Structure 1
């Protein structure tokens, strides 16, 4: 995972290949393929691990008194913030392979919860994919929290 991340950050997404990842990680390409069928699977695994980290961070924030919506938004917006090229590549890979159940898992949720979660996820995805400078601004988090509050108030 670290090898892929370093390649992305140093050389960009176009330079990411399974051969380069294996070389950078110091393993044979055959060994790499025993664990991952392609670079897409590696990116999705990076995303899965980051999602786990986000869940833990959101729980820690809530335990410290941060509201649940703000804690989830802060964890989501901050995901891989220090690794912008990785975040963009991982997000693209996850969009292609998984449903958007990061902040509020799909299931037996109300229509309002579905709309709220997808509005937040959509805004963050757009900011990541567009390389928006807003991701680093506290005002972005605040705008998302305000959106959630407005949607919750309509219930």
Structure 2
């Protein structure tokens, strides 16, 4: 999903709630919930992707393809965040890196060591999905896209 779509969804929720006769406070709550749903499973690339300590290069580039989870741990200095260390599976032209994921994004299904994660490169960043179902669980957004997701009060 792109930033424009998320903004449109939040606005549509607020307008729909208002049109249904809810008070403005309820409309704010609905819009806030829509915004929170997007942010729970996304973050900026600069806050999410890092070079692994085993990586010889500090480049943050990630390539589309499959990655094996070689370690799962609490992210240092980040509350409620899990750090996954991902190593490319044969044929994926990339290097090992870490991915910090908010725990809420993994609430429905955890990612364990040994699992395979599929990465899709998108215009807005990277989509991380469970390899077996291709169901996305996290978006690492380009910093400029992520800034566009910031909550803003809407007056109707």
Structure number with the higher strand fraction is 2
Which structure shows the bigger proportion of residues in helix conformation? Answer: 1
The TM-score normalised by the length of structure 2 is 0.25
Higher relative contact order (CA 8 A, sep 6+): 2
